[in-house]
């Protein structure tokens, strides 16, 4: 019997995304049939054609692809085990309305179709059937969760009392879909009746893999922020959501959302930092902005290159390997601002009034113009306009040994500018400085949005005009 349930758990029924897509296809098809009837068979509009199954099938297929893509970009295919239905339905109405505006403009010049009225009819029909379909599928999955046919494998980490508390509540509220696989104690916890101790934090990666964990509850009010960060970083690497008791959340300054679960206000840290449409828009802005900076500013960049060459012997462009998204290394480009022998004694950070900086290099660094070639890195996707600054592998490895959660910076593309860059003061290499920088980097990562990116870009303009670059 357990084997049968396990197989069902891996089927279509266990995947919210698969069920949503399947339901949406049915809803879109029904909406298209009704709309097709209104347009050609109802007599409300001038009849220009009769029902043609071949034409309808072609149009229906195109619209299914269009709407599935639109819903995906709108973030409507996220796991909604604990997502508010009101949030989902309002998002669906917004995406449907915007999508219909796009379709409206496609047929705008065909006056015979009365596009404004057809737009309203199609919007209402599609919205009603899409919402109805998702309501039905929500009810179906809730029933399957209550019967323990499908579930989310969950790991509890904490001390004995809080583990027992959360375990009892998840077991009694089966509609949430959580099934506790086991626990990892953070104190001298004795055996807990009904639960399996899976080991310790040193084996967390192996425990996650072997038990196919989907969510982690951190239920201990520990002040060990280093331990918390290790767990969150490892979870994000494995696309696992983490829920934390609020007292543990001090290290994450002003982050994401609070989730009331079983009467406990938990903090929900999702591995999905941006909605798909936000990711697409962020990348689009990167491409357009960097393209225009490189092309429109090319005469000035050419002059800058000549001055770099005249100022001191050596190459115009300084190339250096940096660590980017997911730990992938790439070649970063800058206008050279230092002597060619600047690192004969090994890698080190730039300090105030660094004697390795050339005369023209001083101006470049103070004005941040040395960073301009990085718009090429942005254009080809190795960097973003906004994000944590990319660091060399030498320093990434060095700082990661001292601060194991340092690599959490690598969950997003590195940036030309960022929250730390617009707030920083002259710095020196130290563990305190790295910790302060990480606070700003983590603040950005957990609050990523297009609005925040725009704010950082505007702040950067003022920083550049004030000449606050490190030289």
Task: Enumerate domains of the chain plus CATH numbers.
Answer: 2-146 (no CATH), 152-269 (3.40.50.720), 276-466 (no CATH)
CA distance 317 to 370: 9
Residue 298 class from Cβ within 10 Å (0-12 exposed, 13-18 middle, 19+ buried)?
Answer: exposed
Instruction: Say if residues 403 and 436 touch (Cβ distance below 8 Å).
Output: no
DSSP bridge pairs for 384: 415
Q: In this predicted model, what pLDDT tens digit does every residue of 40-76 receive, in sequence order? A: 766 666 665 555 778 888 889 999 999 999 998 887 8
Q: What are phi and psi of 331, to 5 degrees?
A: -95, 115
When comparing pLDDT for 288 and 42, which is higher? 288
Q: Which of 166, 169, 195 is nearest to 183 (CA)?
A: 195
Closest CA to 162 of 252, 248, 288: 248
Instruction: Give the pLDDT score at 159.
Output: 81
Banded model confidence at residue 29, pLDDT cuts 50, 70, 90: very high
* Pairing mode, strands 215-218 and 152-158: parallel
Q: What is the pLDDT confidence band of residue 379, given thresholds at 50, 70 and 90?
A: very high
Where does the pLDDT of residue 7 fall: very low under 50, low under 70, confident under 90, or very high at 90 and above?
A: very low
Q: How confident is the model at residue 250 (pLDDT cuts 50, 70, 90)?
A: very low
3-class state of residue 8 by DSSP: helix
Average pLDDT, stretch 306-326?
Answer: 90
Give this prediction's pTM.
0.64
Task: Give the pLDDT confidence score for residue 127 in this predicted structure.
Answer: 92
DSSP strands (E only) in 270-396 = 317-323, 329-335, 384-386
Higher pLDDT, 107 or 237: 237
pLDDT at 83 over 70: no
Q: Percent of the chain having pLDDT more than 70? A: 77
Please give the backbone phi and psi of residue 339, each rounded to the nearest 5 degrees, phi first. Answer: -65, 155
Mean local confidence (pLDDT), 112-126: 75
What local confidence, expressed as pLDDT, does residue 322 receive?
Answer: 94
Give Dmax (Cα) for the chain. 85
Q: Which residues contact 413 (CB under 8 A, 6 or more apart)?
A: 324, 325, 381, 382, 383, 384, 387
pLDDT digits (tens, 9 = 90+) for 251-268: 444 444 455 554 455 666
Out of 94-98, 235-239, 265-269, 432-436, which region has the weakest mean confidence (pLDDT)? Answer: 265-269
Region class of 389: left (phi > 0), else alpha (psi between -120 and 50), else beta: beta
Instruction: Provide the pLDDT confidence category of residue 13 given band limits of 50, 70 and 90.
Output: low
């Amino acid at each position: 019997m357990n084997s049968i349930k396990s197989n069902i758990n891996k089927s279509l029924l266990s995947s919210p995304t698969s069920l949503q897509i399947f339901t949406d296809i049915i809803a879109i098809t029904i909406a298209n049939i009704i709309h097709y009837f209104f347009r050609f068979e109802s007599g409300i509009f001038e009849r220009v054609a009769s029902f043609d199954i071949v034409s309808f099938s072609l149009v229906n297929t195109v619209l299914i692809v269009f709407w599935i893509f639109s819903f995906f970009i709108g973030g409507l295919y996220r796991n909604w085990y604990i997502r508010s239905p009101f949030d989902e339905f309002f998002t669906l109405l917004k995406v449907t309305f915007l999508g219909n505006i796009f379709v409206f403009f496609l047929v705008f010049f065909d006056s015979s179709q009365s596009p404004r009225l057809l737009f309203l009819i199609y919007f209402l029909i599609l919205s009603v059937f899409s919402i109805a379909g998702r309501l039905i599928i929500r009810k179906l999955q809730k029933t399957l969760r209550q019967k323990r046919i499908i579930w989310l494998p969950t790991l509890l980490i904490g001390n004995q009392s809080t583990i027992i508390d959360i375990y009892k509540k998840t077991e009694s509220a089966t509609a949430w879909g959580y099934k506790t696989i086991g626990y990892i104690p953070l104190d001298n916890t004795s055996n807990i009746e009904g639960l399996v101790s899976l080991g310790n934090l040193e084996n967390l990666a192996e425990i996650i893999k072997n038990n196919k964990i989907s969510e982690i509850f951190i239920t201990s009010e520990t002040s060990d922020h280093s331990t918390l960060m290790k767990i969150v970083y490892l979870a994000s690497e494995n696309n696992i959501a983490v829920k934390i008791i609020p007292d543990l959340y001090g290290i994450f300054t002003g982050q994401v959302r609070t989730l009331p679960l079983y009467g406990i206000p938990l903090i929900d840290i999702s591995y999905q930092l941006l909605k798909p449409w936000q990711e697409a828009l962020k990348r689009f802005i990167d491409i357009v902005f960097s393209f225009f900076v490189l092309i429109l500013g090319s005469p000035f960049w050419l002059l800058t290159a000549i001055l770099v060459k005249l100022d001191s012997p050596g190459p115009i462009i300084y190339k250096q390997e940096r660590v980017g998204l997911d730990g992938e290394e790439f070649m970063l480009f800058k206008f050279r601002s230092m002597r060619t022998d600047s690192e004969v004694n090994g890698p080190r950070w730039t300090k105030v009034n660094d004697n390795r900086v050339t005369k023209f290099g001083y101006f470049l660094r103070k004005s941040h113009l040395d960073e301009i070639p990085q718009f090429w890195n942005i254009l080809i996707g190795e960097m973003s306009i906004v994000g944590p600054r990319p660091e060399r592998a030498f320093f990434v490895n060095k700082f990661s040994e001292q601060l194991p959660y340092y690599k959490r910076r690598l969950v997003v593309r590195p940036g030309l500018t960022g929250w730390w860059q617009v707030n920083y003061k002259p710095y020196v290499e130290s563990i305190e400085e790295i910790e302060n920088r990480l606070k700003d980097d983590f603040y950005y990562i957990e609050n990523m949005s297009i609005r925040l990116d725009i704010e950082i870009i505007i702040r950067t303009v003022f920083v550049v005009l004030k000449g606050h670059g490190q030289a």
